[in-house]
Amino acid sequence: MTYLKIEKVSKQYDEDNMALEGFSLEVPKGNVISMVGESGSGKSSLLRIIAGLEIQSAGLVYLGDQKILNPNEKLVPGYDEIQLIHQEYKLYPNSTVEENIARPLLMYDKAYQKERVEELLDLLTLTAHRHKKPRQLSGGQQQKVAIARALSIEPEVLLLDEPFSSLDAIQKRELIEELKQIFESLQVTVIFVTHDLDDALLLTEQLFIIHKGKLIQQGNAEDVFRHPANLYVAKLFGYLNVLPGKENNFVRPSDIHFLKSGGIKAKVQKRQYLIHYNLLTVQLEGSGEIWRVEDKEREFQEGDTLFLDFDEDKVLYLEK
- Residues in the site for ligand ATP, rule: CB under 6 A? 13, 17, 19, 37, 39-45, 195
Closest distance to ligand ATP from the beta carbon of 215 (Å): 13
- Three-state SS string across 74-85, please? CCCCCECCEEEE
Question: In this structure, are residues 121 and 145 in contact, taking their beta carbons and an 8 Å threshold?
Answer: no
Q: Which is nearer to ligand ATP, 40 or 64 (CB)?
A: 40
Q: Which is nearer to ligand ATP, 43 or 144 (CB)?
A: 43
Query: What is the three-class DSSP state of 101?
Result: helix
Q: Which is nearer to ligand ATP, 30 or 59 (CB)?
A: 59
Q: Which is nearer to ligand ATP, 15 or 109 (CB)?
A: 15
Closest distance to ligand ATP from the beta carbon of 299 (Å): 40
Separation between Cα atoms, residue 161 and residue 195, nearest integer Å: 10
Closest distance to ligand ATP from the beta carbon of 127 (Å): 34
Q: Which residues contact 18 (CB under 8 A, 6 or more apart)?
A: 10, 11, 12, 212, 213
DSSP 87: S
Closest distance to ligand ATP from the beta carbon of 152 (Å): 26
Q: Which is nearer to ligand ATP, 43 or 129 (CB)?
A: 43
Closest distance to ligand ATP from the beta carbon of 37 (Å): 5
Q: How far apart are the first and last CA of the chain?
A: 35
Q: How many other C-beta atoms are found inside a 10 Å radius of the C-beta of residue 230? A: 14
**Which phi-psi region, left, alpha or beta, contains residue 238 (left: φ > 0; alpha: ψ -120 to 50)?**
left
